[in-house]
Structure 1
């Protein structure tokens, strides 16, 4: 079956930059409006749920779990280490600096608290991410697929994280636009955005690797790389490596960054710890078995979506980036309840579904998005009212 007809790609405007930006914004407007509508629904359900539960919805979004670590860094800088009851330590060096830098800068300039500054960063970054997702989908499969990709990302079950003072929205925005820059041969932009992504989350290393793998394939095919690509490649790892080196110097150890991750119980073991975690559910009682089967189904769905990405012929930058993000999320040790959140930046997993829905009738697509959005709103409110961090 032939794929969906691509709508004509927006021709580069010959006028001023402002005119080109206005044209791009008008083209992306349905995606941004659809994305904002889903996020508004999720926020309303959360706030109503919090009110009925005698909880503070604002606090759930701005000042719990990782949000508290980012706020503390924004206010006091690095240097805090939490000591748990069993004697293990959790140093704040595990959290990358771009989000707390932005929180502190916005708070000082506006008078907002750093927690509210974090919410503002997340709100703006989530819209920028939705725009970046639209741009990628539009470029590859047309405007309709781009709109659906952005709205589907808003409607994933763990999408509530996009509205929290967490770094996922900021990272996804930088990653989406970096990948778009590579796809449109803007290598210096790609390198700069990747460097910023590397200052945002550890998974920035996956974006760096994706750029380098893409360049290696191009070098193999064309036997040369343009100068702008070389500049972008040299710029890309600056953020991630710069922070890792700074942590090493601060810890006075070449393996300082890895040591910090180890203190948090993080590390890459090929998925053995996660497999044991799921296996523990499978050998339990009926409810435990059901939970284990649900976890297996979730992992299977992610792997199936990744296979569809490869069969769908996605460009090498998207395939490399997605495969690496999935591998890092599923094959790492650490808090297993966070794995769905760690997969949130792997937005190309949604592209095959977006393309399929783009072929369907508008009424069908709206119905599917409505059901997914309602499910995301209920699940997000339930999740944040739980005891464990997302």
Structure 2
């Protein structure tokens, strides 16, 4: 499918005095998509709050202090290696080193400046990151396929079965925001911005390395194209190659820096971080554990989270195949493939696979393009069905599921 370039502005078009004008114009273009996203997530929060009150729990604690959120709050309040979360599994002094530092660092910084407490700061940051992610997703979709497709891309992301995570104090919204805008920067010839965002993504989550892969793929692709066109003058608006290779060097620095720091902290050298992951039962086995989990699902009964996770994994693989047939820009494809490989190729808790796939929003591009061309009745029926599933399953995941997200 031929990509339709809607936003043709490049870095050369943005003069220092017009940055604010461009931001306002971009917000106006994205306003319908952001309004729909806010309405969907608000409905999700309301459903969760009603169930929390029904069961005698406080909605803020349910949204901001659930499972991994407690680990991030512990790091934000006390730093790494503190005894704060020792009542949680696994009871190991190194366990909190598995959680990358950007989000707890932001929580600590915000709660120090604004006296709202770490829990409220975590929720505020997560919700802001989710909104910025939705804006970035729209920017990517609209740039490649038009504003209507960009809007549906945001709506589909907001209506994923496990989209309740976008309302929690988790790091997936933060990673998605950094990834979406890094991809948009690459698509609009802003490689240094993309490299800086990839660096930050590498400090947010382990799979933030996928953003660095996108930047490296862009640098390799630009070099290959330039070498094939050596006899053709380079357009004045094109960035020099060294911009892309500088971005490729910067991009993995956040991830690599934290991994090396954990190695020094544990005294285990470069293997230190991976030993911490083994404390959580996590390692890369090329998908064998995922296949075993799916096989067990057919042989034994289990909670709803298991078949739902299997369904999400199956649909994700199908959508990845459709995306590859669509021949998207190489950075977009590299980012998505690396995310899917990391999510499905690792061991650990199988029902968390959908959460690990949440930042892989380009998987939704084929469906968004189809919906952009569909009749209004089809759109309403599809969106309505997805909303019922997403809101209902979100309440189940957060308030009723016997297992963590």
Range into which the TM-score falls when normalised by the shorter chain: over 0.9
Cα distance in 1 for partners of 2:92, 2:109 equals: 32
Q: Which runs of 5+ in 1 are unaligned?
A: none
Structure-2 change in CA distance of 1:13 and 1:30 (3 Å): farther
Q: Is the 8 A contact 2:136 2:180 kept in 1?
A: yes
Q: Is the 8 A contact 1:282 1:289 kept in 2?
A: no
Q: Which runs of 5+ in 2 are unaligned?
A: 231-239
Q: Is the 8 A contact 1:42 1:373 kept in 2?
A: no
Q: How does 1:1-390 map to 2 (within 5 A)?
A: 6=4, 8-9=6-7, 11=9, 16-80=18-82, 82=86, 91-223=95-227, 226-254=241-269, 255-284=271-300, 287=301, 296-385=310-399, 386-390=401-405
CA RMSD of aligned residues (A): 2.3
Q: Is the 8 A contact 1:89 1:264 kept in 2?
A: no
Cα distance in 2 for partners of 1:57, 1:102 equals: 22
Q: Cα distance, 1:270 vs. partner?
A: 1.0
Cα distance in 1 for partners of 2:118, 2:109 equals: 9
Q: Is the 8 A contact 1:325 1:343 kept in 2?
A: yes
Structure-2 change in CA distance of 1:294 and 1:172 (3 Å): closer
Structure-2 change in CA distance of 1:20 and 1:290 (3 Å): closer
Q: Is the 8 A contact 2:138 2:150 kept in 1?
A: yes
Cα distance in 1 for partners of 2:54, 2:30 equals: 36
Q: How many residues align?
A: 386
Q: Is the 8 A contact 2:6 2:142 kept in 1?
A: no
Deviates more, 1:226-235 or 1:83-92: 83-92
TM-score (normalised: structure 1): 0.93
TM-score (normalised: structure 2): 0.89
Structure-2 change in CA distance of 1:229 and 1:388 (3 Å): same
Cα distance in 2 for partners of 1:171, 1:87 equals: 27
Cα distance in 2 for partners of 1:218, 1:204 equals: 22
Q: Cα distance, 1:283 vs. partner?
A: 2.1
Tell me the alpha carbon deviations over residues 105-136 of structure 1, each in whole angstroms, 9 at most, x when there is no partner: 11111101111101000111101000000000
Cα distance in 1 for partners of 2:294, 2:250 equals: 40
Q: Cα distance, 1:40 vs. partner?
A: 0.7
